[in-house]
Amino acid sequence: MNLIILFCLLFTIILKYGDSAAFNTATGKENEMVLPEIVGNKFLYFGFGSNLLLKRIRIQNKTAVRKNIGKLKDYELDFYTNSTRWQGAPATIVPRLEKTVWGAVWEIDLNHMDDLDKQEGVDQGVYIPISVPIETPDGQTLICRAYRLTKLPPELRENEPIPFDRQPSSTYLKTIIKGAIESGLPEKYIEFLKHFKHNGNTVESIEKDLELSEIVI
């Protein structure tokens, strides 16, 4: 009788949790989903905005190492809402068929994932983390952690003016462009970045810290 009860309990647990119940050997926690971007005690992160730039990402993520570059297919780079720090709209990725977002693939210590989440405002509901397939120039497909804004920007009609809440600051856009150049993204994509409309705002302290004076937009 006891064996029957035990079997029923085990069967109920399996039905409830399925494959989502796992033991994460990297963190030592039971019943924690093992994310596909985790590799041993590291995780892969796809940076497409200000975190393209080494000096920027290292401010809060000291272990970040750029391992490669890659592209995310069927997504588009966009800007939306407002960042007080950057004085303009921050970057996001939006599902769009036949569009492509290029970025840097970073390897970061797993125990710093929470630091990256905090930088992206996950705890405040600003961004949400997603796992995305990134294609590298040498033909690999790497599953990486990326962040998109919780609130997706609406699709603009053809020839519709760019609203102010869709414009990054000059400083933010220059940071992205400098990071794209530093990462070695395709020249055509860098030119594409330079043509984004910005709001003209400059954050002098960030311009100085990230040495953006040589970037002209």
The answer to whether 176 touches 49, Cβ cutoff 8 Å, is yes
Residue-averaged pLDDT of the chain: 87
Asked whether residue 2 is domain-assigned, the answer is no
Distance CA 87, CA 116 (A): 21
The answer to whether 77 touches 93, Cβ cutoff 8 Å, is yes
- pTM value? 0.83
The answer to whether 133 touches 109, Cβ cutoff 8 Å, is no
pLDDT of residue 68: 98
Asked whether residue 20 is domain-assigned, the answer is no
pLDDT at 11 over 50: no
The answer to whether 68 touches 102, Cβ cutoff 8 Å, is no
Asked whether residue 62 is domain-assigned, the answer is yes
Least confident piece of the model among 18-27, 66-75, 191-200: 18-27
Asked whether residue 216 is domain-assigned, the answer is no
Radius of gyration of the chain (CA): 20
pLDDT at 67 over 60: yes
The answer to whether 106 touches 66, Cβ cutoff 8 Å, is yes
pLDDT of residue 151: 93
pLDDT of residue 188: 98
Domain count, the chain: 1
Three-class SS string for 23-77?
EECCCCEECCCCCCCEECCEEEEEECCHHHCHHHHCCCCCCCEEEEEEEEEEEEE
Report in angstroms the alpha-carbon separations of 147 from 1, 3, 107, 176, 188.
51, 47, 15, 15, 24
- The boundaries of the domain holding residue 61 are 37-153+164-209
Asked whether residue 32 is domain-assigned, the answer is no
Residue 141 host element (H or E) = strand 141-149
Asked whether residue 7 is domain-assigned, the answer is no
Distance between the two ends of the chain, CA-based, in angstroms?
76
Asked whether residue 3 is domain-assigned, the answer is no
Report the binding-site residues: 45-50, 172
- Residue 107: CATH number of its domain: 3.10.490.10
Asked whether residue 202 is domain-assigned, the answer is yes
Nearest Cα residue to 179 out of 188, 167, 190? 190
Distance CA 20, CA 18 (A): 6
pLDDT in tens, 136-175: 999 999 999 999 999 999 988 888 999 999 999 999 999 9
Q: Which of 32, 120, 207, 214 is catalytic?
A: 120
Produce one character per residue of 119-143: b if its CB has 16 or more CB atoms within 10 Å, e if not: bbbbeeeebebeebebeeeeeeebb
191 is catalytic: no
